Structure formats: structure tokens, C-alpha cells
Structure 1
Amino acid sequence: MATSEVQTVNSSADKAKLAAAVALLIGGFVAFYLFSAQGALVQWGALIVALIAAVVVFGISESGKRLLAFGRDAWRETQKVVWPARKEAIQMTAYVFAFVFVMALFLWLTDKTLEWLFYDLILGWRN
């Protein structure tokens, strides 16, 4: 049985970076609403600058570095995927549509048969 390790923020400097990133994020939203009198350009500018600063601070933290490494690994894995050719994709799409049509027809026929069986034969109700 494999043991799963829970990684937490250990250093106080890393905790401070994460706290600063959260503070910048909240500060950006607060600035957006506080600068409503200065116009949309100042509002959006303050928000975007604060969001970029929060992303940069998070990126230099240990959690941010792990997230970026995970993203790079995920991108590398998607490069290894063998994607189907156009012809194969069209064939598989046609198979899926055909299956859905056949299944819908089967379910509709089953529903109508049970409706006829219960309402007309057993209960004697006529629609």
C-alpha cells in the first residue's frame, strides 16, 4: 500500500509569500471598487496590476513553483498523446451518433411498449 504524503507550507518566508499574494489579490478587488470615481481605465489598471503582482508573488513561492512544475509536466504529457487522424475522428463521431440514435430508438420503443402494456391491456385506460 502506497502512502500519500501531504505537502504543506513549511517555511515562514513561503507563508509570507502566500499571504502577500492573497493580500494583493484582495487589494486588487478593493482598489477596483475604490477607484470607481477615477474611471474605468484606472479601475481596470489597478485590478490588473494587482492580479499580475499576486501571480508573480505566488509564482516565486514554493507552492507556485510546484504548480508551475506540474503544469510543465502536464504539457509534456499532452505532447506524447497520439491524436487520431481526421478520418478516424469522423468515423468515431459517426459511430457515437449511430449508437445514440439506436439507443434512443430502443428506449422510445421500450417506453411505448410498456405504456401500451400497462395502460391499455392491464389497466384498460384508453388515450
Structure 2
Amino acid sequence: MATSQVETVVTGADKVKFSLAIALLVGAIVGFYYLGARGPLVQWSVLLVGLLAAVAVFLVSDQGRQLIGFSRDSWREVKKVVWPTRKETLQMTGYVCAFAVVMALFLWLSDKTLEWLFYDLILGWRK
């Protein structure tokens, strides 16, 4: 399977849009804390408007369009997944729980055997 190399070129306008989105995000957070004395309504309004503006500016940049494309492709791939039925899920959960119990018993038995071997037979500490 051959993959093609895609080279992306970021223009100056996209850099400005990305920088503006970051500045809006920082401004929204700073405004949220700076306007704390004005009340929670003003505080949260400034934060929400700033975040929405930052997201809008980011989504019209090249990086934002790439993120939207990636999200669409990811959603398309998730739709192709064959999810297990309820019966299969319960069976696999039962297998995992049974395996965990068997391993717990094996480790407990191994621990007790080594404890008996070292402390009782070799060292003679438990008499």
C-alpha cells in the first residue's frame, strides 16, 4: 500500500488567523478574571464570546479546515466499525472475569507455596 506525501504550505494569512485565534482565547481567559468584580453574568459572557470568536477564527484557517476534514474522516471510519452484540459483550466480560479469578487463585497459591518453602522448610521461622 503506497502512501503519498502531502506537503502543506501555511500562508501568512493562515498564520495571522491562528495567532488571532490564540490571542482571542487568551483575551477571553484574561477578561474572565479581570472582570470578576462586574459579576458572573459579565464574566461568563466575556469568556463565552471570546471562546466562540476564537473557535470561529480557528475554523476558517487552514488548520481549522484540516481539523474539520480529519473529524469527518474519523466519523466515517467509526461508522464502519462492527460493534459486538449484547450477548458477545456479556460473554467476553465473563471470560475476562473468570480469567482474573483463575489468575488470582494461581498467584495466591504460588505465594503461599513460596512462603511455605522459604519460611518453613529453608529458614525454619514458623515453628
TM superposition score normalised by structure 2: 0.91
C-alpha distance 10-29 of structure 1, shift in aligned 2 (>3 A): same
Q: Answer yes or no: is 1:24 the counterpart of 2:24.
A: yes
Identity of aligned residues (%): 63
Displacement of 1:10 after TM fit?
A: 2.0
The question of whether the paired residues in 2 share the 8 Å contact of 1:35 and 1:42 is answered with: yes
Number of the residue aligned with 2:126: 126
Displacement of 1:4 after TM fit?
A: 8.9
Number of the residue aligned with 1:55: 55
The question of whether the paired residues in 2 share the 8 Å contact of 1:14 and 1:61 is answered with: yes
Question: Cα RMSD (Å) of the superposition?
Answer: 2.0
C-alpha distance 110-6 of structure 1, shift in aligned 2 (>3 A): farther
Number of equivalences: 126
The question of whether the paired residues in 2 share the 8 Å contact of 1:24 and 1:50 is answered with: yes
Number of the residue aligned with 2:15: 15
Q: Answer yes or no: is 1:73 the counterpart of 2:51.
A: no
Aligned ranges 1:79-94 → 2 under 5 Å: 79-94=79-94
Number of the residue aligned with 1:101: 101
What whole-Å deviation, never above 9, does each CA across 1:30-88 have from its counterpart, x for those lacking one? 00011101111111111111111111111111111111111111111010111111111
Partner Cα distance (2:5, 2:42) in 1: 45
Letter aligned with residue 87 of structure 1: K
Number of the residue aligned with 2:42: 42
The question of whether the paired residues in 2 share the 8 Å contact of 1:24 and 1:53 is answered with: yes
Displacement of 1:124 after TM fit?
A: 1.4
Displacement of 1:3 after TM fit?
A: 8.4
SS for the counterpart of 1:125 is coil
SS for the counterpart of 2:110 is helix
